[in-house]
Chains A and B, each alone.
Chain A
């Protein structure tokens, strides 16, 4: 018997706690595959966020630091500046990165910290139970926007890739999705590139992943995947927003 598919060595054996249909597990796997393929597992130091991925420090087989909400890019800065040979990533959700951690992500890009940021955008606060995120779509119902997001009261969704693209120090920005096998393959390519950039000393690289949250969207998994395609992608178009990484 030949093994043709297996769990990446860069992930631990611990069963993940994520809800059925959630995108986090897919992204973890793509990152684990990347570490295996680039043979960097012994050099990777990851920063786990506050939120659904707070336990990511147990899922990645590399050394991990779990820090405060929104501060991942600052923590990653401290690690990278202290251990420049390490491959450092910050893994963050949308409330984390685009709300409470807005200053930290912007200034990590301004300084062009040579780190990799994986940004999971599911347009909702997941762990806390479905509150409105800065990325929540107009009209989307959340527990703190029971009538749907109203721009007159809550403004409009924020597009992080487009915004960070204005910053000289941001060197690679791509938005991907994990709603279909084709998109998962493209997401893998982007994630791998974001880590290769760090190996090549390119500077600040971020991959934004549109991810589904069936639980807090009150949707079945097929409905959630459909929501990503028909509602999220028009607001958050997939593509490369900046690529100064060469190769």
Chain B
């Protein structure tokens, strides 16, 4: 436990990771996560670890693959387009059962998108992102305090289950400053035990260790074996936070930064005499479905508040399984929720209105163009150019 200090989100995360025993970091510049590799370049060597500015995100995640193979607490950080590039390495890490920490400080997408904070990578984080049947544990902090303290939890979960763990933050969380403290004593990685599976310098006579991703004829058994682990994690590791959630008419569901705006909405609603609660998943995979379903059963409606175009809402619907109506209040591609805009959606649910509730089918009515080839512009085969 440390005294409270004012820290920027990305720096709290980097310092928290070093305190948690991270001793290998590889990264590549991309906004809005640059403070993480910058901090690592300044302090990792002093902590006795290695910092490498990689030639690409692809190289960075593969450096983590190598470092994690040795049992070293290893990590990388990036932002959305960079995380897309890392998917190759992430699926390999999952297949080779390697623990590591991956940080996504999300920005607007798709593509190069924008550098504004966003939650558009929920599907990518929770559905795998790379090829094949696999999961990564996904932690979603909603404060600088959690950004600083989740790396330790992330490494511990990753190592306990031999799989990658992702911290899914966003650009605003990474960039904002808040008062925070570290709730754990610094970890000395030299005093952590070795893993029996890791590649390492060893005494002659020890069985050789192989870390590998090609499973060939053993693949089915390998994937089925991993599913047992995933099932156990879904049963035992979901984490969440509840506010006024036991007895509410409308239950808000939000993670990360949008949960902060929801908290504002919960408080304002109380002043108005509305019964609004908040359910905040802290682990996005495993998703805390069971508890959400229990709480939702008592509510008139459930509202997914997310900075994406209907991603979180799918897990909410899966959890609730049609027993309570589920609505979407969406702020995609860098949009930001606030208490008032969320409350507008809440009132719509209670009064049977539409304002603030996103419906893709209603949007479809606004679709207004049809893409056609136009021969009057010239022909593709015309080498002299068209009109």
Task: Using known A-B contacts A48-B212, A81-B24, A107-B55, determine if residue A74 contacts B201 with beta carbons closer than 8 Å.
Answer: no
Contact at B209–A63, with CB atoms within 8 Å?
A: yes
Per-residue CB contact flags for chain A residues 71-105 toward chain B (1 = under 8 Å, else 0) read: 10011111111110110000000000000000110
Q: How far is the CA of A75 from the CA of B70 in the complex (A)?
A: 11
Contacts of B55 in A (CB 8 A): 103-104, 106-107, 110
Q: How far is the CA of A226 from the CA of B295 in the complex (A)?
A: 76
Q: Is B258 an interface residue, CB under 8 A from the partner?
A: no
Q: Is B58 an interface residue, CB under 8 A from the partner?
A: yes
Q: Which among A55, A85, A104 is the interface contact of B59 at CB below 8 angstroms? A: A104
Contacts of B26 in A (CB 8 A): 77-78
Q: How far is the CA of A50 from the CA of B88 in the complex (A)?
A: 13
Q: Is B23 an interface residue, CB under 8 A from the partner?
A: yes
Q: Is B237 an interface residue, CB under 8 A from the partner?
A: no
Distance in angstroms from A183 CB to nearest chain B CB is 30
Contact at B70–A42, with CB atoms within 8 Å?
A: no
Contacts of B202 in A (CB 8 A): 42, 63
Distance in angstroms from A65 CB to nearest chain B CB is 4
Q: Is A62 an interface residue, CB under 8 A from the partner?
A: yes
Contact at B65–A75, with CB atoms within 8 Å?
A: yes
Contacts of B52 in A (CB 8 A): 77-78, 81, 111
Q: How far is the CA of A61 from the CA of B201 in the complex (A)?
A: 13
Q: Is B89 an interface residue, CB under 8 A from the partner?
A: yes
Q: Is A64 an interface residue, CB under 8 A from the partner?
A: yes
Scan residues 215-237 of chain B and give those whose CB is less than 8 A from a CB of chain A.
Answer: none
Per-residue CB contact flags for chain A residues 128-170 toward chain B (1 = under 8 Å, else 0) read: 0000000000000000000000000000000000000000000
Q: How far is the CA of A50 from the CA of B216 in the complex (A)?
A: 13
Task: Using known A-B contacts A42-B202, A45-B199, determine if residue A82 contacts B67 with beta carbons closer than 8 Å.
Answer: yes
Q: How far is the CA of A43 from the CA of B208 in the complex (A)?
A: 11
Per-residue CB contact flags for chain A residues 36-78 toward chain B (1 = under 8 Å, else 0) read: 0000011101011010001101100111111110010011111
Contact at B67–A79, with CB atoms within 8 Å?
A: yes
Residue of A42, A63, A80 contacting most chain B CB atoms (<10 Å): A63
Q: How far is the CA of A61 from the CA of B210 in the complex (A)?
A: 10
Contact at B24–A68, with CB atoms within 8 Å?
A: no
Q: Which among B64, B201, B214 is the interface contact of A85 at CB below 8 angstroms? A: B201
Q: Is B103 an interface residue, CB under 8 A from the partner?
A: no
**Which A residue sits closest to B206, measured CB to CB?**
A42
Distance in angstroms from B87 CB to nearest chain A CB is 11
Q: Which among A64, A78, A103 is the interface contact of B212 at CB below 8 angstroms? A: A64
Per-residue CB contact flags for chain B residues 165-202 toward chain A (1 = under 8 Å, else 0) read: 00000000000000000000000000000000001111
Q: Interface extent on A, as a size class?
A: 35 or more
Q: How far is the CA of A65 from the CA of B201 in the complex (A)?
A: 13
Per-residue CB contact flags for chain B residues 88-119 toward chain A (1 = under 8 Å, else 0) read: 11001000000000000000000000000000
Contact at B66–A74, with CB atoms within 8 Å?
A: yes
Task: Using known A-B contacts A66-B214, A103-B55, determine if residue A78 contacts B201 with beta carbons closer than 8 Å.
Answer: no
Contact at B199–A64, with CB atoms within 8 Å?
A: yes
Q: Which among B59, B201, B209, B214 is the interface contact of A71 at CB below 8 angstroms? A: B59
Distance in angstroms from B63 CB to nearest chain A CB is 4
Contact at B213–A67, with CB atoms within 8 Å?
A: yes
Q: Is B33 an interface residue, CB under 8 A from the partner?
A: no
Contact at B212–A81, with CB atoms within 8 Å?
A: no
Task: Using known A-B contacts A64-B208, A68-B88, determine if residue A82 contacts B66 with beta carbons closer than 8 Å.
Answer: yes
Contact at A47–B212, with CB atoms within 8 Å?
A: no
Task: Using known A-B contacts A41-B204, A64-B199, determine if residue A82 contacts B50 with beta carbons closer than 8 Å.
Answer: yes
Q: Which residues of A contact B (CB under 8 A)?
A: 12, 41-43, 45, 47-48, 50, 54-55, 57-58, 61-68, 71, 74-83, 85-86, 103-104, 106-107, 110-111
Q: What are 18 pairs between A and B in contact, CB < 8 Å?
A: A43-B201, A45-B199, A57-B210, A64-B199, A65-B199, A65-B211, A67-B92, A68-B89, A71-B88, A75-B62, A78-B26, A82-B50, A82-B74, A83-B200, A83-B201, A104-B55, A106-B55, A110-B55
Give me 8 other A-B pairs in contact (C-beta within 8 A), A43-B201, A74-B54, A81-B67 excluded: A50-B214, A57-B212, A68-B89, A77-B59, A82-B23, A82-B70, A82-B74, A103-B56
Q: Which residues of B contact A (CB under 8 A)?
A: 23-24, 26, 50, 52, 54-56, 58-60, 62-70, 72, 74, 88-89, 92, 199-204, 208-214
